Homo-oligomer: A and B are copies of this chain.
Amino acid sequence: MQASLYFSTVEKQDIVIIGAGNVAHHLGHELSKAGHFIVQIYSKTDKSASGLAKALNTAYTTDINKINKSASFYLIAIRDDHISEVASQLNLVGKIVAHTSATVPMDVLKPASNYYGVFYPLQTLTTNRAVDFRSVPVCIEASSEPVKKKLTDIANTISKNVHYLDGEKRKALHVAAVFVNNFTNRLYHIAYEIAKSEDLDFELLKPLIKETVNKLENTIPEALQTGPASRNDLKTIEEHLYYLMDNPDFKEVYLILTESIMQANKEKSTPYE
């Protein structure tokens, strides 16, 4: 440990990162930038393990039995459905182990250590794209108060947006994230395809896309709902459905979201029923 070198009150950690995908990549870089020591990368495949190790100027292994046992913090950033199995093969008593998954319960880490928790960054991370990590919410859960304190301290070194959430809240937040990221992106894709089919540049829609988000700055989404469904404009809705009739998938998405908006209006306008 060389914490004194960094003018920080937070102890610098010796960290092993288990995984070498997008999340491992981003957290590895952020933790390294914050002054922690990434002492090793583990990944099943040589290519990804060596790639991230090289980028972070550190060692790597593809053998789970050769994971460095002298680190202070083990961060498991792998696919949800592999976490439990990997945890059962780790033997890290006395060390802090955390996974980065929104959905996997914290307790699957019990076999790995008596100090365990979750370190979940709520953001869409792509390997070759930088994000301003200081604003990314990092959601912590921990098996005990000392672990909570430690994970919070580490998270605070890379983000100013650290929150303590239990597993249920984390799962709910992930459901909400699926709506605002995955599903929104699907809507962008549908709009892209419609524009393309008419030889229209998707760029035309970008000022609208940006303004839709900017409006959220000081208003809740419910108060910003506009459009044919919101004003019960059945004529326009029918024309749009007719336009979409050759694409049953797009049409179905249009229909369900239109019904969702109209249903909400109905509930608002008949409060006494």
Contacts and interface: CB of A to CB of B under 8 A. Distances in A.
Interface in A88-136: 103, 122-124, 126, 129, 131, 135-136
Interface in A168-221: 168-169, 171-192, 194-195, 197-200, 202, 204-213, 215-216, 220-221
B124 A215 contact: yes
A144 interface: no
A165 to B, nearest CB: 8
A229 interface: yes
A208 B189 contact: no
A180 B209 contact: yes
A52 B230 CA distance: 24
A188 B221 contact: yes
A241 to B, nearest CB: 9
A227 B181 contact: yes
A240 interface: yes
Interface stretch (A36-44, A61-69, A150-158, A247-255): A247-255
Contacts of A272: none
B213 A210 contact: yes
Contacts of A202: 220
Given A215-B129, A229-B182, A195 B221 contact: no
Contacts of A137: 204, 207
Contacts of A188: 179-180, 184, 216, 221
Contacts of A185: 212, 221, 224-226
A212 to B, nearest CB: 5
A184 B212 contact: yes
Contacts of A244: 175
A227 to B, nearest CB: 3
A180 B171 contact: no
B186 A172 contact: no
Interface stretch (A3-11, A12-20, A70-78, A257-265): A257-265
A29 interface: no
A239 B103 contact: yes
A194 B244 CA distance: 30
Contact of A249 (B80, B161, B207, B263): B263
9 contacts: A122-B204, A122-B205, A126-B224, A172-B194, A176-B205, A179-B188, A183-B257, A192-B220, A250-B260
Q: Considering the complex of A and B, which 5 residue pairs feature the smallest CB-CB distances, nearest first?
A: A182-B227, A188-B221, A176-B191, A189-B221, A176-B194
